[in-house]
Amino acid sequence: MAQRREPVRADARQNRAHLIEVARDALTTSSNVSLNAIAKLAGVGPGTLYRHFPNREALIVAVYRHEVERLAAAAPELLAEYPPLTALRRWFDLLAHYGRLKYGQSDVLHALTDEGLAGEIYRLVIGAITELLRACARDGSIRPGVDPDGVLLMLGFLWRIHPDEHAEARAAQLLELVVDGLRFGAPGSAPASAGPASAGSAPESAGAGPAQPVR
């Protein structure tokens, strides 16, 4: 009997995971999307959705937790595939997607996220940031001693970007500034000021301004 029930449980888990993925994309696009619309996008009936998530709040919290767990798991995966600084930058892009979700549901999340869940989410996110920063510091791509809490605080601008058609480009531009700031003073980076021009330099080069960051 147990063997006959197991596929049902597996299907239920798959349905739940699929609903969360569809809801994540839908809520990122429109914070007011209805549960019926999400069910339709997922290709299931409303009853299936309500069996997993009895109300909108339950679905939002499930999506929120899923995104944070996904963020935490992505850090070591990215470090295994890319150089540390590239992994950090790609992880920031994932965080930006999470930020767009959080922007649209901030009121609901604030009301529903209890202290225990908030602490769990903080530990997952700060753990991922810490792992990425340490890897970058070890290979000299950022300066050592960067405070993970400070980086997370600085990245708070992602929760305040209005999720319109320009949100992704705006986030990418600001994240480049964050990465450039982390690279300032790194062992492998050129100093901000190159000092006096060499004797062989053309006169007009002295006023050319600071060098652009090496990419």
Q: Could you tell me if residue 158 is inside a domain?
A: yes
- Residues 39 and 104 placed together within one structural domain of the fold: no
Q: Is it the case that residue 118 has pLDDT exceeding 80?
A: no
- Banded model confidence at residue 210, pLDDT cuts 50, 70, 90: very low
- Banded model confidence at residue 111, pLDDT cuts 50, 70, 90: low
Q: Return the CATH number at 39.
A: 1.10.10.60
Percentage of the residues of the chain whose pLDDT score is greater than 70: 75
- Residues 65 and 50 placed together within one structural domain of the fold: no
Mean pLDDT confidence for 61-74: 89
Q: In this predicted model, what pLDDT tens digit does every residue of 11-64 receive, in sequence order?
A: 778 889 999 999 988 887 777 888 999 999 999 999 999 999 998 888 888 888
- Banded model confidence at residue 148, pLDDT cuts 50, 70, 90: very high
Q: Could you tell me if residue 40 is inside a domain?
A: yes
What SS3 class is residue 57?
A: helix
- Residues 76 and 130 placed together within one structural domain of the fold: yes
- Residues 87 and 175 placed together within one structural domain of the fold: yes
Q: Could you tell me if residue 24 is inside a domain?
A: yes
Q: Which two tokens stand for residue 201?
A: 């330099």
- Residues 85 and 153 placed together within one structural domain of the fold: yes
* pLDDT mean across residues, the chain: 79
Q: Indicate the pTM of the whole model.
A: 0.71
State which residues form the domain around 50: 11-54
Count of structural domains within the chain: 2
Q: Could you tell me if residue 215 is inside a domain?
A: no
Q: In this predicted model, what pLDDT tens digit does every residue of 76-107 receive, in sequence order?
A: 999 999 999 999 999 999 888 777 766 556 55
What's residue 114's pLDDT? 58
- Residues 16 and 96 placed together within one structural domain of the fold: no
What's residue 84's pLDDT? 96
- Banded model confidence at residue 183, pLDDT cuts 50, 70, 90: very high
Q: Return the CATH number at 111.
A: 1.10.357.10
- Residues 98 and 169 placed together within one structural domain of the fold: yes
- Residues 25 and 38 placed together within one structural domain of the fold: yes
Q: Could you tell me if residue 202 is inside a domain?
A: no
- Residues 41 and 142 placed together within one structural domain of the fold: no
Q: Could you tell me if residue 93 is inside a domain?
A: yes
Mean pLDDT confidence for 193-210: 36
Q: Could you tell me if residue 194 is inside a domain?
A: no
More confident residue, 26 or 132: 132
Nearest Cα to 213, choosing from 185, 187, 180, 182? 180
- Residues 38 and 65 placed together within one structural domain of the fold: no
Q: Could you tell me if residue 2 is inside a domain?
A: no
- Residues 103 and 151 placed together within one structural domain of the fold: yes
- Residues 77 and 177 placed together within one structural domain of the fold: yes
